[in-house]
């Protein structure tokens, strides 16, 4: 699984800690981590939490990533922004039990974490345990186990509802403010990671046009 990490400007200084913790947990499981930044608070390409959501939508809808780990000060803004886009199911994750139940009950493809609120002594341990519970085993297996069938049915219903209530990603990319879009995809390593992993030729071609302007 290709896992993308995205940090916005207010919490960019914690990127290295989050990246190293995530990588340390999931690489032994056979997953890859792609760090889309921000890498420091002084990066030339600044991301807001709304742009985190846009970038998550691009990565997941293009197949460049299978899962997105993101967040902001409280996690709420990033979660709301991610869920603004089609085919993104993002949960607000505070502790390991949140991570486990989101993976098993909701079977989403993105999480938003609070990287300021409650992020004190032992925060790196909580991150480690969250990532362990989030990525252990196969997701969508239900919790408790006797609820697996209705939970899986509800997830399929949610997927079907989102297909009706959301525009497709290409329509969004063409209609969203183009300066806002370009800023979201102008990170230091976006082109290196995205174009190597993107499975949607149409989206890749359009984003190349945006970057060239």
Note the pLDDT tens digit of each residue in 66-100.
999 999 999 999 999 999 999 999 999 999 999 99
The H-or-E segment that residue 5 falls in is strand 2-5
Residue 86: the pLDDT is: 97
**DSSP three-state, residue 90:** strand
Give the count of beta carbons closer than 10 Å to the beta carbon of residue 21: 20
Nearest in space to 53 (alpha carbons), one of 112, 117, 11: 112
- CB atoms closer than 10 angstroms to residue 56: 30
Confidence of residue 48 (pLDDT cuts 50, 70, 90): very high
C-alpha span between 100 and 33 (Å, rounded): 20
What percentage of the chain has pLDDT greater than the value 70? 100
What's phi and psi for 32, nearest 5 deg? Answer: -110, 145
Cis check for the bond before 38: say yes or no (omega within 30 of 0): yes
Please tell me the CATH superfamily of domain 2-212, with its number: Sugar-phosphate isomerase, RpiB/LacA/LacB (3.40.1400.10)
Note the pTM of the prediction, 2 decimals: 0.96
Average pLDDT, rounded, for the chain:
97
Instruction: Report pLDDT for 75.
Output: 98
Cα radius of gyration rounded to whole Å, the chain: 17
pLDDT band at 3 (very low <50, low <70, confident <90, very high): very high
Q: Which band of pLDDT confidence, cut at 50, 70 and 90, is reported for residue 173?
A: very high
pLDDT, residue 24, reads: 98
Percent of the chain with pLDDT over 90: 100
Q: Where are the beta strands (DSSP E) in 23-171?
A: 32-35, 67-72, 90-92, 110-114
């Amino acid at each position: 699984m290709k896992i993308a990490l995205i940090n916005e400007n207010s919490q960019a200084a914690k990127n290295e800690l989050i990246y190293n913790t995530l990588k340390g947990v999931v690489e032994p499981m056979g997953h890859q981590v792609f760090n889309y930044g921000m890498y420091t608070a002084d990066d030339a390409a600044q991301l807001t939490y709304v742009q985190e959501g846009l970038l998550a939508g691009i990565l997941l809808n293009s197949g460049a990533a299978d899962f997105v780990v993101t967040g902001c000060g409280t996690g709420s803004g990033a979660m709301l922004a991610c869920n603004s886009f089609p085919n993104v199911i993002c949960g607000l994750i505070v502790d390991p039990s949140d991570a486990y139940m989101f993976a098993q009950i909701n079977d989403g493809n993105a999480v938003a974490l609070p990287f300021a609120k409650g992020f004190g002594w032992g925060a790196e341990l909580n991150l480690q345990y969250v990532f362990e519970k989030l990525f252990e085993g196969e997701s969508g297996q239900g919790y408790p186990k006797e609820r697996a069938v209705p939970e899986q049915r509800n997830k399929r219903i949610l997927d079907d509802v989102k297909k009706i209530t959301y525009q497709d990603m290409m329509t969004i990319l063409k209609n969203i403010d183009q300066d806002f879009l370009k800023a979201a995809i102008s990170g230091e390593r976006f082109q290196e990671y995205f174009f190597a992993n993107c499975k949607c030729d149409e989206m890749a071609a359009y984003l190349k046009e945006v970057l060239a302007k």
